[in-house]
Amino acid sequence: MGIRKRLVGSYLLVILTAVIILVAILITAVNYYYYHNIERILVQQAELSASFYEQYFKDADLEQQAPHLLQGFSHHFAGQVQIISSAGRLLEDSSGLQPGQSMLGYLDVRKAAAGKAGLWRGLDPAAEEEVMAVSYPLLTGSKVVGAVRFVTSLQETKETVRQIAAILIGTGLIVVLIVAAVGVLLSRTITQSITGLKHAAEQIADGDYGARAEKQYDDELGALADTLNVMAGKIQQHDRLKNDFISSVSHELRSPLTSIKGWVVTLKTSRLNGKVRLEEGLDIIESEADRLTGLVDELLDFSKLEDGRMVLSRSPLHLADFLGRIGQQLRPRAERQGILLEVKAAERLPVIWGDENRLKQVMINLLDNALKFTERGGTITILARPDEAEARVVVAIKDTGAGIPKDELPNLTQKFYKGNHKRGGSGLGLSISEQIVRLHQGQLKIHSELGKGTEVLIYLPSIEARPE
């Protein structure tokens, strides 16, 4: 069942119940009011008549005085008046009913004969309509000598009550109809937003990540639309990153493979025509294979970091030695590129608690970037100094290279983010480095000025700060 039907259905059910209860209460009240009123009038008349009899006629013979009494009693009463003997026999009747018949069949008469006021409501056999009757004993001293009976037809009252009930029921129905119409309109505003959301969600599910849900109201559904849109935006961004990543990785894989393939072909043909450049070719094939392995390792590391499978194997690490070794390892490449590579470690550096291989990976990533973006004649400095106030060490890798535009700075550590340049790379280096530093409870910060150079700062806690 649609949500619209459910909403309207529940509106209707609630209002229908309320209207039915209300109408039922009103009809009962009207009913009670009318019949009670008639009863009150009858009883009043009967009481008045009985006390009148007691005052002025108690010594007279009832049977003889009956016609006079009847005249007096029916003077102010529109209905039927009867005088009944103590034996329950009809003596006089204002509607012309033949006297003589026994009235003991009526409950009110029997009660009056027993000395109490009696009330009866039922079908009158003569007129064949519903009537209400009140009988009152006529007393002489404490002896019941007869009864006076007031009877009135309920036909008119019944009709009035029926009309009022019809009006009430009709009004109730109109109210229900109006509420139903309003409910349909109101539910449309809700279902419209839901339908809009559903439509947008379906489009997104179908791969149209550019689809957006329209926010109609500032309520929960509006918030849901916002969430959906944020989600779609993220999916879109990830989708774009994934595509960029695939194309850059394929490109990265392709260039070493092309070069390996090229050299294999060269070696084959040069062997045929006798010019052997074996040494040079194998060197290049080896370095290209290393590049491929490096790239694949980077991808594996990345996936490990992503799902938290990377575990550090930490030991005490002396930074001065460590940085010296890295400097030595990269100096040949720096010399080849005509770049000066300096390592300046302060005398007394705190020992840190780190995973040597992972930190080496970080340093090589950062130095690779520095070497990649620095021109011939530039300088790269590795600087290490204690930051005693914080019980940590700062390692800075500073180059005099291209620098990074300000608007790119916040994106650098995002995975697969590459600046707008033609130099190779998968855009994972900084992202992986930052995560490794963070696993060491450290911090990585990048300062850069376009055209002047870049400085990457790594803060690592010293071994004293190690949580045990």
Judged by CB under 6 A, which of 103, 161, 334, 370 binds ligand ATP? 370
Under rule CB under 5 A, residue 462 binds Mg ion: no
* Amino acid in position 130: E
Instruction: Give the strand pairing for 379-387 and 340-345.
Output: parallel
428 binds, among ligand ATP, Mg ion, none (CB under 5 to 8 A by kind): ligand ATP
Q: CB of 4 within 8 A of CB of 194?
A: no
Q: Nearer Cβ to Mg ion, position 121 or 372?
A: 372
Under rule CB under 5 A, residue 429 binds Mg ion: yes
Q: Is 70 helix (H, G, I), strand (E, B) or coil?
A: helix
CB of 413 to ligand ATP, least distance (A): 7
83 binds, among ligand ATP, Mg ion, none (CB under 5 to 8 A by kind): none
Judged by CB under 6 A, which of 191, 369, 400, 462 binds ligand ATP? 369
**Binders of ligand ATP in range 86-105 (CB under 6 A):** none
What gap in Å lies between CA 71 and CA 148, rounded to an integer? Answer: 12
CB of 409 to ligand ATP, least distance (A): 9
Q: Is 225 helix (H, G, I), strand (E, B) or coil?
A: helix
Q: Nearer Cβ to ligand ATP, position 324 or 419?
A: 419
What gap in Å lies between CA 20 and CA 129, rounded to an integer? Answer: 30
74 binds, among ligand ATP, Mg ion, none (CB under 5 to 8 A by kind): none
Max Cα distance, the chain (Å):
166
Q: Is 273 helix (H, G, I), strand (E, B) or coil?
A: coil
Burial tier of 124 (Cβ tally within 10 Å: 0-12, 13-18, 19+): middle
- Give the interface segment with ligand ATP, choosing from 156-164, 200-208, 318-326, 426-434 (CB under 6 A): 426-434
Q: Nearer Cβ to Mg ion, position 152 or 369?
A: 369
Judged by CB under 5 A, which of 45, 369, 426, 433 binds Mg ion? 369
**Binders of ligand ATP in range 402-421 (CB under 6 A):** 402-404, 412, 417-419, 421
- Beta-carbon contacts of 170 under 8 Å, excluding residues fewer than 6 positions away, are none
What gap in Å lies between CA 94 and CA 79, rounded to an integer? Answer: 8
CB of 252 to ligand ATP, least distance (A): 8
Under rule CB under 6 A, residue 378 binds ligand ATP: no
What gap in Å lies between CA 255 and CA 289, rounded to an integer? Answer: 11
CB of 326 to Mg ion, least distance (A): 15
- Give the interface segment with ligand ATP, choosing from 128-136, 168-176, 223-231, 363-371 (CB under 6 A): 363-371
- Beta-carbon contacts of 356 under 8 Å, excluding residues fewer than 6 positions away, are 315, 317, 322
Under rule CB under 5 A, residue 413 binds Mg ion: no
Task: Say which residue the tokens 């005052």 belong to.
Answer: 55
Q: CB of 404 within 8 A of CB of 418?
A: no
Query: Which residues sit at the interface with ligand ATP, rule CB under 6 A?
Result: 298, 365, 369-370, 373, 399, 401-404, 412, 417-419, 421, 425-431, 454
